[in-house]
Structure 1
């Protein structure tokens, strides 16, 4: 999909229309200092997005990912052909087709075999492990309970993978790390300083002001912050405060990961914290998410917290318990 010329062209035209709308927004908001500053921010933000995509990346996002994979900066995993819950698919053979098509698409796109596989919704069964082994997949990720309640309980909990009897290793995502980001009550994205996703000029402006965007659509131009739960009047978004909040949350996240690792009695083995999240969270639902990721990387380096990938971890720690994860 990302290589489709039609979609690339539509994306560029969309960014062009956004630029026109934002020029009008800058004019409309001149009397309001806060809104005018936000209008300018969005105008520059989307202009830079268009420049990066069209000029720096030559409209080839997959090429950027291929380059980063080639340098070792990223490990990219395969996944199912569609977001299918593999263990319950019918008829027999459907799960095999989903996995095989996903792996073949990976090979076609990146020119090599995938080492890891993302199971949609982390849904697992013993048969799925066999299908992954048939594609030479070396690891996948499950929810924490899958190792905690494994047939042979994981002696190291979610802090180390277990090899399945079929072959691939199962890594369990860390409950506490996940909760810090995903929890509706405790998660970072709900902080009052962050940009509110749902309040959008597509709902606030008149059809004439929005043209050519239809009334009631999300434009990506949002002037308000979360402010609080069930707050009818959202306050104006403060970009500087939001960025500082993201930096603070990143430092807190790294501190929590270090504390998690420090709580493990691991004299003769290396523990790992697995923290997987949907990519759409960062930048889409959580506008400041990319800043958070950048600051996590910087804070990890500053605190000597090693960042790694499952494949690299297995290369350095090849001896692990054999068990069968719970479903």
Structure 2
């Protein structure tokens, strides 16, 4: 499947859900991460190639009481092994106050796109950042918390536990989160509450048509970027070593100092193209053959087919 056809399928699905495409500059002035690609401009400003798109979108939009639906397609950049790596990112955001329906909608779009692409072998791994809030409050040191979150992101649970200095009672709670078993009861009420919220969310997904085999609950899941708050997730395709993409609930300030709440998903297009080529048939088209003088007569037939959404192509019979 060609890249253009994949984007067409995704764009059409998002438009049917009421999402509007937004475009933002590739360069920006704010420098907030080590992975940014930075260079010096003639006018004396430091600029960076964007490593992600969500945060740049959120900086520019204003707070509104009504839901705001957006999607984007564009390149992102980062350093990888001393080389500049460019990928093409596709994602969508539903900016609205925290709501169960909001979070469900974003994941339902993932499902509907996969259904249309005939992709069945995928896993959605779900977590909840609020499960860890009572743990972070005990640690307090922001730098230590950042290091510990880094171990969770890499799923390096051994290093995480080696660097975790808390009481034995809470430590046991943490171990149970890292190696989760649904039969275990947690002592801390905030942890228990966060787990119940996550379980309830998964139950709603199943009610809406997700297969249980496509969903994995992982309380130890941690995503990059500090703006995540609440339900988070990553999407994996069968036999893939890395996640296709991920997202979740977030809170972020815009440049007007307003708090924005939202839920989104983003993935790298290249990670999906290879699998789609094997699963989805090419878009069907109708071909109309005729001599040059036949074009005017044939045009009306082609027009009717296009109105049905069918690609119609004129082939000169020379």
TM-score tier by shorter-chain length is: under 0.3
Structure 1-normalised TM-score?
A: 0.27
Structure with the higher strand share, 1 or 2:
2
Larger RCO: 1 or 2 (CA < 8 Å, sep 6+): 2
Structure 2-normalised TM-score?
A: 0.28
Structure with the higher helix share, 1 or 2:
1
